[in-house]
């Protein structure tokens, strides 16, 4: 009996260290970051080279985000069955295939196929690594989810300059191929260091500032909860506004006539668009763990309110003053700072409210809101083509964020307070 018990307990090794797992997840996330945040540098070159409209090209981005998000609940079930290592290896393969197909695209259909393949890969890696972080760091959910998601936000900052330079010198086709294969290979190698998290976690004291649910919710119960749907609407609104900026930043800078204009900030000079993308990715990566940590200390809803309101104001200011290169760089940085926290606070809030047992699947269902928001992204190009400016599209994005800010303290927090006052019930 003793021998059987000993055999059932995995031997201690360095890979089972939570920080090793966290760092490995961050590396994987950084390597899929360009699939989303590097996309904008390809839009104009593809349009010029192939003669396709920007709206038609952006359908590929929408398809990427749709499959990246809407398949996560199903992928989460596979992670529970087969473990994170195998799933992230598969994700790395799909990520490499996606940009490889893009590199050979001679039709919009091929470009769309590449977007779908890349989205499958990114979704597998993203959902697995965030779920892993929540389970290894149960007592610091906001910070752990933020650090992991920060890899996705900041990863492109390490490569956006060589990526942009290669597009200019070698063309978008060669850039897709080289970076696609390189990023996919690193994900596959890093995945070998991932191990399945423990089935149970140490019981932590209830944080004073963070509301907690009273029991474990199954996925079906989560879908029947009004709290889930309020969070879903908020996530959709903010994701839509942020994705419009992410996907359209290059075209916006080009239409403002400042994309290639030199800009100097803190003694560093670069082309406005390249400078903006590098700074935004750094800011977007920093804000996820930072605001995740803030939400651990002052509460999720208050942090969401502050961030969403700041983003709405930032988008309005970008629309009004963004024609100046310096203002464009700084104001887009404000927008990205406020946007990135949805990917740390929402997974932490999901775990707070709906429990540990089904945390990966429950957040996977909420994460599909990003895909729902992505459906609005091509509309930005359509509105711009109709009106001749980005004013209407940016106004819509700003209003979305302000509405989400009001929902966070006017609807979400009262609902969670009412739930918190209910007596605890047995675990499902």
Give the Å distances, CA to CA, from 67 to 63, 73, 120, 229: 6, 11, 6, 20
Q: Is residue 425 part of a domain?
A: no
What is the chain's mean pLDDT, rounded? 86
CATH code of 162's domain: 1.20.1250.20
What pLDDT does 69 receive? 86
Give the residue-averaged pLDDT of 345-359: 87
What is the pLDDT averaged over residues 68-72? Answer: 88
Please state the domain count of the chain.
1
For residue 7, what pLDDT is reported? 39
Does some domain include residue 83?
Answer: yes
Q: Which residue has the higher pLDDT, 59 or 5?
A: 59
Kindly state whether residue 81 falls inside one of the protein's structural domains: yes
Domain of residue 45, residue span: 11-420
More confident residue, 165 or 427: 165
pLDDT of residue 156: 76
DSSP line for 303-368: HHHHHHHHHHHHHHHHHHHTTSHHHHHHHHHHHHHHHTTHHHHHHHHHHHHH-STTHHHHHHHHHH
Residue 91 lies in a domain: yes
292 domain residue, yes or no: yes
pLDDT digits (tens, 9 = 90+) for 369-406: 988 887 877 777 777 778 877 788 888 889 999 999 99
Q: Report the alpha-carbon distance of residue 69 to residue 85 in Å, rounded.
A: 20
Tell me the per-residue pLDDT of 172-224, one tens digit each, with 9 for 90 and over.
Answer: 999 999 999 999 999 999 999 999 877 654 444 444 578 877 788 988 999 99
How many CB atoms are closer than 10 A to CB 381? 23
The average pLDDT across 351-369 equals 86
pLDDT in tens, 120-149: 999 999 989 988 888 787 667 788 888 998
pLDDT tens profile 215-272:
889 889 999 999 999 999 999 999 888 777 666 787 888 888 898 898 888 788 888 9
Judged against a pLDDT cut of 70, whether residue 285 lies above it is answered with yes
Q: What percent of the chain has pLDDT over 70?
A: 92
**For residues 30-46, average pLDDT:** 90
Within a domain: residue 3?
Answer: no
Residues 6+ apart with CB under 8 A from 206: 212
* Position 402 in a domain: yes
Query: Is residue 17 included in any domain, yes or no?
Result: yes
Phi, psi angle pair for 195, to nearest 5°: -135, 160
Q: What is the pLDDT of residues 304-351, one digit of tens each?
A: 999 999 999 999 998 889 889 999 999 998 988 888 888 889 998 998
Residue 98 has a pLDDT of 97
């Amino acid at each position: 009996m003793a021998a059987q018990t000993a055999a059932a307990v995995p031997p201690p090794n360095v890979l089972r260290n939570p920080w090793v797992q966290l760092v490995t997840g961050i590396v994987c996330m950084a390597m899929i970051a360009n699939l989303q945040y590097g996309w904008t540098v390809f839009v104009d070159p593809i349009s010029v080279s192939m003669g396709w409209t920007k709206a038609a090209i952006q359908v590929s981005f929408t398809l990427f985000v749709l499959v990246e998000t809407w398949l996560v609940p199903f992928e989460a079930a596979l992670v529970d069955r087969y473990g994170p290592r195998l799933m992230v290896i598969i994700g790395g393969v799909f990520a490499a295939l996606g940009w490889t197909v893009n590199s050979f695209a001679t039709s919009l259909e091929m470009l769309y196929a590449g977007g779908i393949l890349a989205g499958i890969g990114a979704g597998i890696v993203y959902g697995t690594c965030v779920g892993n972080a929540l389970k290894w760091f149960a007592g610091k959910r906001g910070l752990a989810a933020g650090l992991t998601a920060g890899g996705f936000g900041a990863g492109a900052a390490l490569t956006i300059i060589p990526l942009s330079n290669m597009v200019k010198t070698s063309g978008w086709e060669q850039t897709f191929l080289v970076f696609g294969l390189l990023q996919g290979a690193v994900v596959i190698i890093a995945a070998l260091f991932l191990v399945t998290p423990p089935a149970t976690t140490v019981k932590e004291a209830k944080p004073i500032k963070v509301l907690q649910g009273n029991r474990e919710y199954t996925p079906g119960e989560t879908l029947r909860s009004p709290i889930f749907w309020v969070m879903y609407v908020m996530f959709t609104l903010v994701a839509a506004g942020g994705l419009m900026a992410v996907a359209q930043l290059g075209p916006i800078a080009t239409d403002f006539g400042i994309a290639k204009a030199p800009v100097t900030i803190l003694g560093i000079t670069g082309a406005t668009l390249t400078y903006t993308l590098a700074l935004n990715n750094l800011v977007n990566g920093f804000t996820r763990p930072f605001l995740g940590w803030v939400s651990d200390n002052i509460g999720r809803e208050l942090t969401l309110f502050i961030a969403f309101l700041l983003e709405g104001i930032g988008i309005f200011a970008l629309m009004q003053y963004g024609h100046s290169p310096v203002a464009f760089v700084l104001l887009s940085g404000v927008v990205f700072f406020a946007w990135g926290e949805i990917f740390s606070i929402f997974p932490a809030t999901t775990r707070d409210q709906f429990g540990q047992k089904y945390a990966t699947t429950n957040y996977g269902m909420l994460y599909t809101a990003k895909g729902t928001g992505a459906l609005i992204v091509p509309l930005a190009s359509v509105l711009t083509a109709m009106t001749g400016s980005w004013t209407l599209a940016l106004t819509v994005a700003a209003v979305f964020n302000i509405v989400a800010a009001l929902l966070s303290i006017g609807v979400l927090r009262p609902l969670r307070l009412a739930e918190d006052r209910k007596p605890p019930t047995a675990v499902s």
